[in-house]
Copies of this chain bind each other. A is one copy, B any other.
Amino acid sequence: MEQNKIPQATAKRLPLYYRFLNNLYQQGKKRVSSKELSEAVKVDSATIRRDFSYFGALGKKGYGYNVEYLLGFFRSTLDQHEITEVALIGVGNLGTAFLKYSFLKNNNIRITKAFDKDPNKVGTEVEGVPIYSIDEMDKHLGHIRVAILAIPASEADAVTDILVKHGIIGILNFTPARITVPKHVRVHHIDFAVELQALVYFLKHYPLEKDE
């Protein structure tokens, strides 16, 4: 199912809606109001209603949304029927946290291969995922198109070049380095220091109201 282009901000919330609806469905719930959804996913209900209207999902007043219908819709939209394989680059503390992160097991994205330069790790498995040498990415990446970068910043550019050369088109970059890639490669960047600074900045400049 291909839908019209929706705003990127809306698209970013889809996985969140999907996970919550899937939980409701597992619990046997048949319908959900935008208010309940709002409280669960912490997105205001006006935004939820607007988001849903982009996919033509219109809640009924006093009834809410049909969970199964919504879930079917999101599943096709998010291509949950199709497994996406991901390579993890770097099996240090952060990389290991990823491999152990059980919520990744609930969706159709799988880290199937990991790479590290530590010879003590190469050849072993973590959570069933084999660890290969980072010097042999050319041999082992295969058809994988998405990579998580969890290596030191100083190594980010050289490793990225190799990833791109071997067909990676999407990178979730956890290094503080702003990596340079060709135009066809999408990089999403999560920088811990920036996230923490942004939180502190918001706390100082946009203090929230106290409860009465």
A207 contacts which chain B residues (CB < 8 A)? 184
In angstroms, Cα B163 to Cα A143, docked, is 45
Copies in the complex: 2
Contact B84 A193 (CB under 8 A): no
Partner of A209, one of B79, B184, B187, B191: B184
A190 contacts which chain B residues (CB < 8 A)? 190, 195
Contact B203 A186 (CB under 8 A): yes
A198 contacts which chain B residues (CB < 8 A)? 11-12, 14-15, 188
**Does residue A162 face the partner (Cβ distance < 8 Å to B)?**
no
A41 with B176: in contact, given A201-B14, A209-B183 (CB under 8 Å)?
A: no
Give the interface residue-count category, chain A: 35 or more
A42 with B187: in contact, given A197-B15, A201-B14 (CB under 8 Å)?
A: yes
- CB within 8 Å of B: which A150-195 residues: 153, 169-170, 172, 176, 178, 180, 182-195
Question: Which residues of A line the B interface, CB within 8 A?
Answer: 2, 5, 8, 11-12, 14-16, 18-20, 39-42, 77-79, 84, 86, 92-94, 96-98, 100-101, 103-104, 106-107, 109, 145-146, 148, 153, 169-170, 172, 176, 178, 180, 182-211
